[in-house]
Structure formats: structure tokens, C-alpha cells
């Protein structure tokens, strides 16, 4: 299945105040929605563009007190290597089944595995799966086995790193695009 048409350039009309008019989409937005974080800012930007956005916060199941990010990262990678499936997967699948969205947008998707994405596609066959990250997801410090295993399942990978486009395609990504600004990504999928 190819990438469903999302937003064509003709869907947008720049207004004098530079606001954007577009078709509204139903979006399940999956990511770490920490207060003040960029994922939460992107979610709010999608809402401000008129989209219906249902959040799945991947930080909800994380320890409330992190002594050091490094210890947390090492612990998470070790747990995942033993076959642990993060509760974010079940929450994402449940939300997608309830909402039946046009788009599932996974932001920094190190916790979401291929089996979850495949199950979403089975239940909502017309959904478009988008992976977005401003980070270099091919840097081992930013990735996980879950992310690498899911690369081929997403319809579109959006990155801010030009070198990631070819790297993602080499890993089997169906489509990978660089967007130099988050606003560009939100407006011009």
C-alpha cells in the first residue's frame, strides 16, 4: 500500500497573518508529552492547524523520579533487549482502535514496535503511519530495537537531518523526507 495522500500544496492557503488553512485530519499523536517539551509543542501546533488530535503520552509509564537520564536509558535498553513491551504500545493500539484516525503520528518512536503498527494497520487499513523525529534516529544513542524493527512499517519518516533520508531508505523505509523546520513538517506533509 502506498502512502495515502495527506496534504497537497493546494490544501493550503496562506492568509495575511500567515496562518494556514487546510483539511482537518484525525490524528493519534504518540510521544513523550512532557510539559515544555517539543513533542507537546508539536501536538499543540497540530491542534492549532485545526486537526483533531488524540494524545498517547509515552512518558506516562516512566519512573516519576529520574536520577540520571543515562541510567534510565541504559535500563530501558536492557529491559527492551529482554523482550519487554512498553505499555505505550497497548495504549497506542487502544487509542487507534477507538479513534480510527487518518494519521498515527509517532514522535521519537523508540518505544513503539512493529507488531503494534501492524495491528493498527489491520484494524484501520486506511491510516497513514508517520514517524517524526528531530533527533538523529540512526545514532545508536537515539534508537532502540523497537524503532529499527518498525522502520519498514511506517508510510513516512520525517527527519530534520538530511543524512538520515538515505540512511532510512537503506533500512527499508518506504518514504523518508527531510524538513528543516518543525513548522514546515507540520504544514507540508
Report pLDDT digits (tens) over 131-148: 998 888 878 887 788 888
Q: What is the mean pLDDT of residues 167-177?
A: 86
**Residue 58, pLDDT score:** 87
| Cβ atoms within 10 Å of 162's Cβ, excluding its own | 9
Q: Are 67 and 106 in contact (CB under 8 A)?
A: no
Q: How far, CA to CA in Å, does 150 sit from each of 64, 91, 154, 174? A: 28, 17, 7, 11
Question: What sign for the dihedral angle of Cα 16, 19, 25, 26?
Answer: negative
User: What percent of the chain stands above pLDDT 70?
Assistant: 69
Predicted TM-score (pTM) of this structure: 0.76
**Residue 171, pLDDT score:** 85
DSSP H or E stretch at residue 108: none
**Residue 69, pLDDT score:** 46
At 82-106, the pLDDT tens digits run 555 578 899 999 999 999 999 999 9
At 12-54, the pLDDT tens digits run 333 333 344 457 899 999 998 888 888 899 999 999 988 999 9
Q: What is the mean pLDDT of residues 1-12?
A: 38
pLDDT at 115 over 50: yes
Amino acid at each position: 500500500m502506498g502512502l495515502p495522500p495527506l496534504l497537497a500544496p493546494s490544501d493550503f492557503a496562506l492568509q495575511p497573518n500567515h496562518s494556514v488553512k487546510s483539511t482537518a485530519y484525525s490524528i493519534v499523536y504518540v510521544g513523550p508529552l512532557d510539559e515544555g517539551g517539543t513533542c507537546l509543542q508539536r501536538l499543540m501546533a497540530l491542534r492549532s492547524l485545526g486537526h483533531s488530535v488524540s494524545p498517547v503520552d509515552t512518558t506516562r509509564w516512566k519512573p516519576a523520579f529520574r536520577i540520571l537520564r543515562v541510567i534510565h536509558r541504559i535500563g530501558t535498553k536492557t529491559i527492551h533487549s529482554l523482550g519487554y513491551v512498553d505499555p505505550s504500545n497497548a495504549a497506542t493500539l487502544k487509542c487507534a482502535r477507538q479513534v480510527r484516525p487518518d494519521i498515527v503520528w509517532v514522535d521519537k518512536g523508540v518505544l513503539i514496535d512493529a507488531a503494534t503498527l501492524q495491528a493498527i494497520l489491520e484494524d484501520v487499513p486506511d491510516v497513514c503511519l508517520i514517524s517524526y523525529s528531530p533527533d538523529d534516529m540512526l545514532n545508536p544513542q537515539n534508537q532502540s530495537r523497537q524503532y529499527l524493527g518498525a522502520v519498514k512499517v511506517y508510510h513516512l519518516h520525517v527527519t530534520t537531518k538530511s543524512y538520515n533520508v538515505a540512511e532510512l531508505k537503506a533500512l527499508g523505509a518506504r518514504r523518508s523526507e527531510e524538513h528543516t523546520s518543525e513548522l514546515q513538517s507540520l504544514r507540508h506533509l
